[in-house]
Amino acid sequence: MHTALDCIPCLVRQALEAARFVTTDRAVHERLVREALLATAAMDFGNSPVVMAQRIHRMLRDMAGVHDPYRAVKDRFNGMALSMLAQLEEDLAQAADPLALALRLAIAGNVIDLGVNGNLTEPEARRAIVSVLNEPFHGDIASFCQAVKEARSILYLADNAGEIVFDRLLIERLPTDRVVVAVRGGPVLNDATMPDAKAAGLSRMVEVIDNGSDAPGTVLGDCDHAFRQRFADADLIIAKGQGNFETLSDETANLWFLLKVKCPVIAGSLGLPVGTHVLTRRMALVSAGGENHARC
Amino acid sequence: MHTALDCIPCLVRQALEAARFVTTDRAVHERLVREALLATAAMDFGNSPVVMAQRIHRMLRDMAGVHDPYRAVKDRFNGMALSMLAQLEEDLAQAADPLALALRLAIAGNVIDLGVNGNLTEPEARRAIVSVLNEPFHGDIASFCQAVKEARSILYLADNAGEIVFDRLLIERLPTDRVVVAVRGGPVLNDATMPDAKAAGLSRMVEVIDNGSDAPGTVLGDCDHAFRQRFADADLIIAKGQGNFETLSDETANLWFLLKVKCPVIAGSLGLPVGTHVLTRRMALVSAGGENHARC
């Protein structure tokens, strides 16, 4: 997905918000904003906004001299999500359709995105999870379940820390012997890396790999060879979040996107309002429209 | 007033919004955004954001090849305001304190600012005027009236087209023989220039001058000598809108600002919430706080 002009002021705003999140040093705030302005002025708008976000966050980590500036907040959101797990497992045990509920919870977890909203609080995230069934939903759960049943191998592309704990609820209801979970190859924003997969308990459950890249999405050309091979070989790919959507929506693989629509550009691309919880297949992108509440 | 880092993404967003307002040519949209990014990357943040907005709008007029791209919308908002005049004059005739109401209406008219909200509609503007007395207000009207009585000369700095019609309601209740109204020296955004003062009927009522500058505020160094002389000689200066506030809040003249707070940076500077209708004296800026409903 290319970079819309509307993404440009948003990228600059996100750079400032990230700089303030990472350091109180005002000189770094100003330097990062100026560098972000220069970089976006020269950027190829044919690339996804994720490519620019990757560059901005590399500059920020370099300027602040911190390898993983979001580590503490990632731990906090993992902890929050883990504290909700027992109750959610209980809800799932009593649900008429546990897989459908697990899918909705995994999408709801996508609210934990400090790129779009750097000021997200734990209570806000908690409320979003608890009220998941009141959120507008668009997607064909029955077709998704069918695709899962038919797939010999499933590659699950995680998105954010915290969110990855809610992913676990869905992943443990998939055929785990055929599932590989991929996280980012290096710290960027609050995106999930290997320690988050471990904290979520996923490493004990399925194979977890990293993609070799520190982009807040899946920029295939920036991922390592091993990951690209897994991507090419997977029968079915489940991709979480806007970053993965922005970077993979033009790929021809058998991709299913699970995300919460958080900005007008993605909303326009999907033809769905901001706030919608979406399950959509890559090939279905051009014909999105109408509610669908089918169950597995 | 210097440029806050929060102003930067906003300036870029305004550049894009303005480009889309002025032309449907996508190449111009992209070119202006890239030029705005480069210009803000190099800007002196010690200057007001108005200086950058002036530069961006000069580039836009140049790229689009249009001298006064907001002329049609300025005419439309003038027309809308003029159509409300008879009813408002009736309301004023029956008001317990006509000067206080005229002052509130002049501030309410400051909603017509296409820099902050390029998508403002006439019905929205109309509603804002009609419901003026329900809006949160901060200011010492009695002190303002006293200052007006004592002033031998008053310089009234207008802000936007449309708004200038509502200014007329206040101006005709001032000692008009001692009032000079100043408009911008050249087209920028929907700011009022000489044709708008004429459309509002001000030219028949008081002396109207222009300031020789196309900045969407009052950048004294960019104004012509004649205006600067009037500014220096005025006993009392009434300055409308955020642009005039941003450019003049550090001046030592006897300045009274009348504006609607439309962004978080100005809100922070004044210590008042976004949406507040404000009458404030320059010297009072450091000690703003609390409601004041005194009447003339």
Q: What is the mean pLDDT of chain B?
A: 93
Determine, for residues B8 and A40 on separate chains, whether the beta-carbon distance falls below 8 Å: no
Q: Give me the percent of chain B exceeding a pLDDT of 70.
A: 95
Q: How many CB atoms lie within 10 A of CB A197?
A: 26
A-chain residues near B35 (CB < 8 A): 41
Region of residue B263 (phi > 0: left; psi between -120 and 50: alpha; otherwise: beta) = beta
> Contact B238/B258 with Cβ under 8 angstroms?
yes
Q: Report the CATH fold assignment for B7-64.
A: Helicase, Ruva Protein; domain 3 (1.10.8)
Q: What is the CA radius of gyration of chain B?
A: 18
Q: Average pLDDT for residues A90-95, to the nearest whole number?
A: 96
Chains A, B: CB contacts within 8 A come to: 49
Candidates 3.40.50.10880, 3.40.50.11140, 3.40.50.300, 2.40.50.100; CATH matching A71-287:
3.40.50.10880
The pLDDT, as a whole number, for residue B113 is: 87
Residue in B closest to A30 by C-alpha: B5
Q: How many residues comprise chain B?
A: 296
Instruction: Please report the ipTM that was assigned to this predicted complex.
Output: 0.88
The rounded distance, in Å, linking the Cα atoms of A107 and B220 is 54
pLDDT tens digits along A105-149:
999 999 998 888 878 888 888 888 888 888 899 999 999 999 999
CA distance A273 to chain B (A): 19
The pLDDT, as a whole number, for residue B172 is: 95
Phi, psi values for residue A157, rounded to 5°: -95, 110
Determine, for residues A41 and B37 on separate chains, whether the beta-carbon distance falls below 8 Å: yes
Q: Average pLDDT for residues A241-253, to the nearest whole number?
A: 95
Determine, for residues B13 and A9 on separate chains, whether the beta-carbon distance falls below 8 Å: yes
Determine, for residues B37 and A37 on separate chains, whether the beta-carbon distance falls below 8 Å: yes
> Contact A169/A200 with Cβ under 8 angstroms?
no
> Contact A135/A274 with Cβ under 8 angstroms?
no
> Contact A230/A102 with Cβ under 8 angstroms?
no
The tokens 């390029």 sit on which residue? B118
Residues of chain A with CATH 1.10.8: 7-64
For the whole model, what pTM was predicted? 0.90
Q: Average pLDDT for residues B196-211, to the nearest whole number?
A: 97
Strand boundaries in chain A, DSSP class E: 137-138, 154-157, 179-183, 207-210, 236-240, 255-260, 277-281
Amino acid at A120: L
Residues of chain A with CATH 3.40.50.10880: 71-287
What sections of chain B are H helices per DSSP? 7-22, 26-42, 49-64, 71-94, 98-108, 122-130, 141-150, 163-171, 194-199, 225-233, 241-248, 264-270
CA distance A156 to chain B (A): 35
pLDDT tens digits along A167-216:
999 999 999 999 999 999 999 999 999 999 999 999 999 999 999 999 99
Determine, for residues B37 and A33 on separate chains, whether the beta-carbon distance falls below 8 Å: no
Q: How many CB atoms lie within 10 A of CB A124?
A: 12
Tokens standing for A114? 């400090």
Calculated CA dihedral for residues A284, A285, A288, A293, nearest 10 degrees: 60
